[in-house]
A and B are shown apart, each in its own frame.
Chain A
Amino acid sequence: MLELKDVSKRFGGLAAVDSVSLVLQEGRIGALIGPNGAGKTTCFGLMSGFIRPDQGQVVFCGRDITGWPAHQVSREGLVRTFQIVQPFTGQSVLENIAVGAQRRRSRGAAIAFAAEVAARVGLGEELAKPAESLPIAGRKRLELARALAAEPRLLLLDEVLAGLNPAEIAEVVPLIESIRAGGTTVLMIEHVMQAVMSLADEVWVLAHGSLIAAGTPEAVTRDPAVIEAYLGPGAAARLAQPT
């Protein structure tokens, strides 16, 4: 479904993403994890056409989409959300979601569909509220709803669980599972490991722009390189020693 081939992006002297290659199969939930500043969001930018890679290729559904403008990538079915939520301020929740829904619909049909999507993500009671009046959990749901309304083939979720309390997380996790069950492939960036463990079929670990591990959640969390990337050099050895 999605393939990165040796993709790199530098910001000045900093290699934000350094020769990353990965393949995500259709119908799966993948997770991209790694410490802060590892280059995860930059990876999403490269996949979705917001950032042009310095090197490498992005292939989506067999098509080389490297260098395509963002709106065209989205129309192809690869839709991202933003880590820092990006509502259409001044517009209601319903209007926000309807923008996502109107790609293949008339305005009227988009509004009706937007209401359905809102109900599905738990925003059914907030339709008329201005987007900026929602609490953070609501805004994250809105970000998700808007992307979902675009009916993507591949959905990129950038930390949609960040800032949510455990009860809210427990609500959104099954929602993500149901999105996959509905036929949408999902790639998520997530720091909430409990969600990664329960949702992801496959995990990629990024540190300082490079992939340091890939595999099932269980395998990856046992990988000493991953533990050291998160906790510092020598951490894996210290953890392995009984204290």
Chain B
Amino acid sequence: MHTPAPIGRTPAAADAPPAVVHLLGGTRRSIRLLGLIGMALACAPLVVRSEFHLTFMTLALYSTLLGSAWNILGGFGGQYSFGHAVFFGLGAYTGAILQVHAGLPAWTGLLAGSAIGGAAGAALGAISFRYGLRGSYFALVTLAMAEVFRIIANSVPFTGAGVGMMIELRSGPADLQFESRQGYYYFALALALVALAVSSWVRHSRFGAALAAVRDNEDAARALGIDATRIKVAATALSGSLMAAGGVFYLQYFHYIDPMLVFGPAVSVEALLGPIVGGLGTVLGPLIGAFALALVSQVATQALGQAPALSMALYGVILIVMVTFLPRGLGRLRLRRGRHA
């Protein structure tokens, strides 16, 4: 540590204490890890031949997207939303309306849906955080918002009201519909990787450091010049935008949406459960959580059959177990030792 800096290297890097080197290297390590995971998942269809298993992985990746979206606000930002379905539904309905009423291709729905999800996030964040809502009050406002939009979608004509909306079956990458299971798998993988990359950026960027500061001590953050409201609004927008992309994926995958399916509480629960199980405020937590949950519900379905409210009841039990015994999530089991090293 006290040897002179070798020529050609910046003194700061050469003399830097290990903790500095470790923290500065975070971005690079994260990109490398995500690259490896991405490559492994991209190669998976070469090994995983059965449609059943590929569908399982597709839905787990879709769940990773939802979890990552929620985790940006809930995990990195510490603002727990119980109504992320509001963004999901807005994305899904935007996609459906553009395709059904305007005849536009699905990719425009993905872009417009994400944009509207982001705008809705900014608006909801601005309303909530300007007035200092926190904790359970914020959670309740989000929950109420999702319900309000569910009721609106149930009532107005251009959403098909309670009947829901069906998109035309058309195959082709521009329509974001695929004949093969592989097509949907790669669509879900691409979206999940974008969400993970955004999470990694949040984890290691200046923005993310400000967001974590607000989460961990808002007064201290403000004293250091951080505009807490603006940071939280931005995180809600980012989170809402990714969540809306999840809604568009749902639409393209199932071709049919109705108010309960996309604005209902089940979506909100799916979004928050993955990160809580996998590790709140970590990049990989939502991925680990999504695959773990997909596995558990698969096993449960095979053991107990398809009971209507089974998954919700199961999720409830998992949530209680996690919060009681592993509040830091599965992902932290392994990472904990290295975290502060």
Contacts and interface: CB of A to CB of B under 8 A. Distances in A.
Whether both chains belong to one complex is answered with yes
Interface of A: 48, 50, 69-72, 74-75, 79-82, 86-92, 94-95, 98-100, 102-103, 106-108, 110-112, 115, 124, 127-130, 146-147, 150
Contact of A106 (B16, B20, B206, B226): B206
B51 interface: no
Contacts of B225: 71-72, 74-75, 79, 103, 150
B23 A95 contact: yes
A93 B12 CA distance: 19
A102 B209 contact: yes
Interface in B14-45: 16-20, 22-24
Classify the secondary structure of B's interface with A.
Answer: helix
Interface residues of B, number: 30
Nearest to B221: A99
A146 B209 CA distance: 14
7 contacts: A74-B222, A92-B19, A99-B209, A107-B206, A112-B24, A127-B17, A127-B20
B19 A128 contact: yes
Interface in B215-234: 216-217, 219-228
Contact of B220 (A72, A86, A102, A130): A86
Nearest to B216: A88
Contacts of B204: 107
Contacts of A74: 222-225
A128 B18 contact: yes
Interface in B65-93: none
Given A112-B12, A124-B17, A90 B206 contact: no
Contacts of B220: 82, 86-88, 146
Contacts of B219: 50, 70, 82, 86
A130 B339 CA distance: 10
A102 B210 contact: yes
* 4 A-B pairs with the lowest CB-CB distances in the bound complex, closest first: A127-B19, A88-B216, A74-B225, A128-B19
A211 B81 CA distance: 47
B20 A95 contact: no
A87 B216 CA distance: 8
A108 B19 CA distance: 13
A91 to B, nearest CB: 6
Contacts of A107: 204-206, 209
